[in-house]
């Protein structure tokens, strides 16, 4: 059985039971995990599974799983499999009909959304943007019409350039830069993309892991033709006042504009 387990700094009783009971614990960095396991007197054997060795050790891990061993995958910070090679192990385990269960831990993606103040009813996690500006701008253009908040992971060294490209492609949307989420030195800065680009473009790169969040595109204004069509239909059953109120709420257009169009349709005089 393969079991991804979240950040050991926020351990649960169930996670402790799993870690005590599996044959081996797979870690990003065995030194980091061993410190935390020692706190809870867990003596289970650990082995490294990370970006550097995933392709090489995956076949051996699958041999062990197929042989009946149970493995637990933990991360240094946050929930495993989010922008890390753990998904390859889970993918292979599922393909091999090996049971997989999860014990979710803190997630920087979700924590960032909660703290950002940006809409959370729809969002798109886009991982790490391309490292070069031209490719990065093309990627942002592909995401420009996504009807929800955008969430990226970014390196501190590329943050300023990434913010500049976001502003150039997406305009001055509301955004937030979060640092070290779910960790001890958590920090979050909110503001329009232009302000954030200037702030981080004129200072040294921040330290730690970065989550970059950008608000959804502004709602497109409904044109006069669409408003007139909706008003014409609404006026069949509603008074002018009620029709204006309804269409204003539905379209988001200014009431005075909807009222003017309603007068034109009905032929009434506004008394002006």
Q: What is the pLDDT of residues 200-255, one digit of tens each?
A: 999 999 999 899 999 999 877 788 898 999 999 889 888 999 899 888 877 878 89
Tokens 């997989």, located at residue: 100
Please, what is the average pLDDT of the chain?
A: 89
Contacts of 187 (CB under 8 A, 6+ apart): 178, 179, 180, 206
What fold does the segment set 108-214 form as a domain? 3.30.950
Confidence category of residue 17, pLDDT binned at 50, 70, 90 = very high
Q: Which of 31-35, 43-47, 99-103, 247-251 has the lowest mean pLDDT?
A: 247-251
Pairing of strands 123-125, 187-192: unpaired
Tell me: pLDDT of 40 over 50: yes
Q: Which of 72-81, 115-124, 132-141, 184-193 has the lowest mean pLDDT?
A: 72-81
Confidence category of residue 270, pLDDT binned at 50, 70, 90 = low
Tell me: pLDDT of 269 over 60: no
Q: Annotate 43-69 with DSSP letters as a single string.
A: --EEEE-STTTHHHHHHHHHHHHHTT-
Burial of 24 (0-12, 13-18, 19+ CB in 10 A): middle
Q: Which of 106-120, 121-135, 153-167, 220-234 has the lowest mean pLDDT?
A: 220-234
Give me 47's structure tokens: 């082995």
Give me 254's structure tokens: 């200014």
Whether 9 and 108 have beta carbons less than 8 Å apart is answered as no
What fold does the segment set 2-95 form as a domain? Cobalt-precorrin-4 Transmethylase; domain 1 (3.40.1010)
| pTM over the 0.95 mark | no
Give me 201's structure tokens: 């473009």
Tell me: pLDDT of 272 over 50: no
Q: Where are the alpha helices (DSSP H) in 40-192?
A: 54-66, 86-95, 108-116, 133-143, 159-170
Whether 58 and 88 have beta carbons less than 8 Å apart is answered as yes
């Amino acid at each position: 059985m393969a079991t991804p387990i979240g950040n050991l700094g926020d351990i649960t009783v169930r996670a402790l039971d799993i870690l005590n009971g599996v044959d081996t614990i797979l870690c990003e960095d065995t030194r980091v995990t061993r410190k935390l396991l020692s706190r809870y007197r867990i003596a289970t054997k650990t082995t490294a599974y990370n970006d550097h060795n995933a392709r090489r050790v995956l076949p051996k891990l699958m041999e062990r799983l197929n042989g009946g061993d149970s493995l637990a995958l933990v991360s240094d910070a946050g929930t495993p499999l989010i922008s890390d090679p753990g998904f390859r192990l889970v993918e292979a385990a599922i393909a091999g009909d090996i049971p997989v269960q999860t014990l979710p831990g803190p997630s920087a993606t979700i924590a960032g959304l909660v703290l950002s103040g940006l809409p959370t009813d729809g969002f798109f996690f886009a991982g790490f943007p391309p490292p070069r500006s031209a490719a990065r701008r093309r990627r942002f253009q592909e995401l420009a019409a996504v009807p929800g908040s955008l969430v990226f992971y970014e390196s501190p060294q590329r943050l300023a350039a990434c913010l500049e490209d976001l502003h150039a492609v997406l305009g001055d949307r509301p955004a937030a830069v979060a640092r070290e989420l779910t960790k001890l030195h958590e920090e979050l800065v909110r503001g329009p993309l232009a302000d954030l680009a200037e702030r981080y473009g004129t200072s040294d790169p921040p330290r730690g892991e970065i989550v970059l969040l950008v608000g959804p595109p502004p709602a497109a204004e409904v044109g006069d033709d669409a408003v007139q069509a909706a008003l014409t239909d609404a006026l069949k059953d509603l008074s002018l006042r009620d029709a204006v109120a309804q269409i204003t709420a539905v379209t988001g257009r200014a009431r005075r504009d909807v009222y003017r169009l309603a007068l034109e349709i009905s032929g009434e005089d506004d008394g002006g």
